[in-house]
Amino acid sequence: MASKAWCGSAILLALLFTIVKPSYGGITSKYVRKAQPSIDMPLKDYPPPKGYNAPEQVHITQGDHTGRAIIISWITPVEPTPDTVTYWPAKEPCEKKVAKASTITYKYYTYTSGYIHHATIKELEYDTKYFYEIACDESVRQFHFSTPPAPGPDVPYTFGIIGDLGQTYASKETLSHYISNKNAQAMLFLGDLSYADDYPNHDNVRWDTWGRLVERSVAYQPWIWTPGNHEIDFDQDIGEIEPFKPYNHRCPTPYKASGSTSPLWYSVKRASAYIIVLSSYSAYGKYTPQYQWLEKEFPKVNRSETPWLIILVHSPWYNSNGYHYMEGETMRVQFEKWVVQNKVDLVFAGHVHSYERSFRISNIKYNITNGLSFPVNDSSAPMYFTLGDGGNIEGLAAEFSAPQPEYSAFREASFGHAILDIKNRTHAHFTWHRNQDDKPVAADSTWVFNRYWFAQDETNCKLPA
């Protein structure tokens, strides 16, 4: 009798739970990353290249609006030369040309930089492999890169995506996993590079070590830079009041080519993608330079030429983690309406040290008095990704809010990188690779259907990747 009553109430309880439990679509991954200290690798793990004054920290980025130019940067530690780079098409080794760099140095508190060289090489052929060489008396360093195909609607192209990388053992792992994928052709970097500002007086030596760490990728393929909060390097107490000083000296961007007045926000076309980079840490309210620039930017996008419209920004607009919660809110309120009206496909952000993917949602109906402030499904809206999971010294952001908000499709507190594989004007495939026991594991993936050409729901697409 007693056991029957117990059984009955258990069933009732279970029933109650099924009814009361909110049934959200999203997944909070059960994977738990093994606890590891988040420490930077010691300085000795970043040896400079061999030879007196050998050029180091070689990095490249797109140098114009369409992909026919590249900016090659390097640092010589002792002498202001070599300040030239020799380059040639892989198929025509006799067609050597020389480009001269502009050379700068900067001081930061007690730190003085090496000679920082930036050479812009223009009028390259599309879809062509080039070699380049920076030669010093005792050392010749040779690298190569490939220009993208001309912008066009059905040009397949593969981007890597990393944010908040830093220079820990985990950062190195993320980078190795990314490099082991031979398909990726260019990097969308979401901000927070070296984390030098976590050291006393922002020890800028840690900018140099970071430059050496990433060279094995960024010397061979362009990294499209987005500024993060760790690039601000503002420190009034030591008299460093010029925001973005180390970043702006080290990481040039082709901002003038897109009519921008600041290297911190700009756009590039690359193959079938139109990429807009925004700065979370520059003014964006109405009438500000960034606001005015972005307003004029959307009408310039021709989806018949570049179907894929992608935004990179450091601070996420949708983030269900306790870390940096709602920091991107003011920018979301300012720009989300434009993003939906213009059918942006994807918004990639960093900043929060975990991974999260949203459904296609928008929250643009609020007008102060109507109470309509809630994200709703919206087939014109982008998917939002948070990829601040590069593995930096500050560790994981593992405090997801409970219950998982309806707009959040998948979230996991791990480190990793992502790949966006654009197939044609309608289809792209996105995969997030977690760092799992020293191996990259594809832990989340989704098809992405283009908002301009094929605005269907892709959530249940079963095509093989």
Ligand X SMILES: *[C@@H]1O[C@H](CO)[C@@H](O)[C@H](O)[C@H]1NC(C)=O
Chain contacts with ligand X (rule: CB under 6 A): 25, 302, 304-305, 359, 367, 369-370, 377, 423-424, 426-427, 457, 459, 463
Contact partner, 228, from Fe ion, ligand X, none, Cβ < 5-8 Å per class? Fe ion
> According to CB under 5 A, which residues from 222 to 241 bind Fe ion?
228-229
CB-wise, 195 or 274, nearer to Fe ion? 195
Which contacts qualify for 432-437: CB closer than 8 Å, 24 or more apart? 432/355, 432/357, 432/387, 433/177, 433/181, 434/31, 434/33, 434/355, 435/33, 435/170, 435/173, 435/174, 435/177, 435/391, 436/31, 436/33, 437/34
Task: CB nearer to Fe ion: give 155 or 347.
Answer: 347
Q: Which does 192 bind (CB under 5 to 8 A by kind): ligand X, Fe ion, none?
A: Fe ion
Our CB check for ligand X shows the closer of 94 and 463 to be: 463
Closest to Fe ion by CB, 305 vs 394, is 394
* Spatial distance between the Cα atoms of 27 and 10, rounded to a whole number of angstroms: 27
Residue 318 beta carbon to Fe ion: minimum distance, rounded to whole angstroms: 16
Alpha-carbon dihedral angle through residues 70, 75, 80, 82, given to the nearest 10 degrees: -60
User: Residue 223 contacts by C-beta under 8 Å, 6 or more apart in sequence?
Assistant: 59, 60, 61, 186, 187, 189, 214, 217
Q: For 123, left (φ over 0), alpha (ψ -120 to 50), or beta?
A: left
Binding to Fe ion by residue 391, rule CB under 5 A? no
* Binding status of residue 446 toward Fe ion by CB under 5 A: no
DSSP state of 11: H
Contact stretch for Fe ion (CB under 5 A) within 60-68, 120-128, 269-277, 347-355: 347-355
Task: Go through 44-68 and write b for each residue having 16 or more CB atoms within 10 A of its CB, e for each that does not.
Answer: eebebeeeebbbbbbbbbbbbbbbb
Our answer to whether residue 177 is catalytic in this structure is no
What's the min distance (Å) between Cβ of 368 and ligand X?
Answer: 7
Asked if 173 touches Fe ion (CB under 5 A), the answer is no
* Number of helical H runs and strand E runs in the chain: 6, 26
Q: How far is the CB of 340 from ligand X (least distance, A)?
A: 15
Q: Which is nearer to ligand X, 2 or 463 (CB)?
A: 463
345 binds Fe ion (CB under 5 A): no
E strands within 364-438? 376-377, 383-387, 408-412, 416-422, 427-436
For the chain, the farthest-separated pair of C-alpha atoms sits apart, in whole angstroms, at 95
To Fe ion, the closest distance from the beta carbon of 95 in angstroms equals 43
Stretch binding Fe ion (CB under 5 A), from 53-61, 106-114, 191-199, 451-459:
191-199
Work out which of 56, 192, 356, 458 binds Fe ion, going by CB under 5 A.
192
Taking the mean position of all CA atoms in its chain, how far away is CA 186? 11
Q: Which of 304, 315, 286, 280 is nearest to 386 (CA)?
A: 315
Of ligand X, Fe ion, none, which one sits near residue 367, judging by CB under 5 to 8 A according to partner kind? ligand X
Taking the least distance from each CB to Fe ion, the nearer of 418 and 428 is 418
Query: Quick one: what does residue 229 bind among ligand X, Fe ion, none, with the CB cut-off 5 to 8 Å set by partner type?
Result: Fe ion
If contact means CB under 5 to 8 A according to the sort of partner, which of Fe ion, ligand X, none does residue 423 touch? Answer: ligand X
Q: Does the footprint of Fe ion cover residue 133 (CB under 5 A)? A: no
Q: Does 353 bind Fe ion (CB under 5 A)?
A: no
With tokens 């998982």, the residue in question is 404
Specify the residue, 81 or 334, whose C-beta has the smaller distance to ligand X: 334
Give which of Fe ion, ligand X, none residue 290 binds (C-beta under 5 to 8 Å, depending on kind).
none
Q: How many residues bind Fe ion (CB under 5 A)?
A: 4
Q: How far is the CB of 388 from Fe ion (least distance, A)?
A: 6
Q: How far is the CB of 230 from Fe ion (least distance, A)?
A: 6
The total of other beta-carbon atoms located within 10 Å of residue 108's CB is 22
d(CA 12, CA 16): 6
Residues with Cβ within 8 Å of 381's Cβ and at least 6 positions away in sequence, in order, are 339, 340, 360, 361, 362
- Quote the least distance from Cβ 69 to ligand X, whole Å: 20
What is the phi-psi region of residue 195: left when phi exceeds 0, alpha when psi lies from -120 to 50, beta otherwise? Answer: left
Residue 205 is inside which H or E element, if any? Answer: helix 205-218
Q: Please pick, among 324, 351, 353, 429, the residue that the annotation labels catalytic.
A: 324
Q: Which position among 250, 303, 351, 451 is part of the footprint of Fe ion (CB under 5 A)?
A: 351
Interacting partner of 304 out of ligand X, Fe ion, none (Cβ under 5 to 8 A depending on kind): ligand X
Instruction: Report the residue number, 119 or 393, with the smaller CB distance to Fe ion.
Output: 393
Interhelix angle 289-297/329-341, nearest 10 degrees? 20
Catalytically active residues, by annotation: 324
Residues that bind Fe ion (CB under 5 A): 192, 228-229, 351
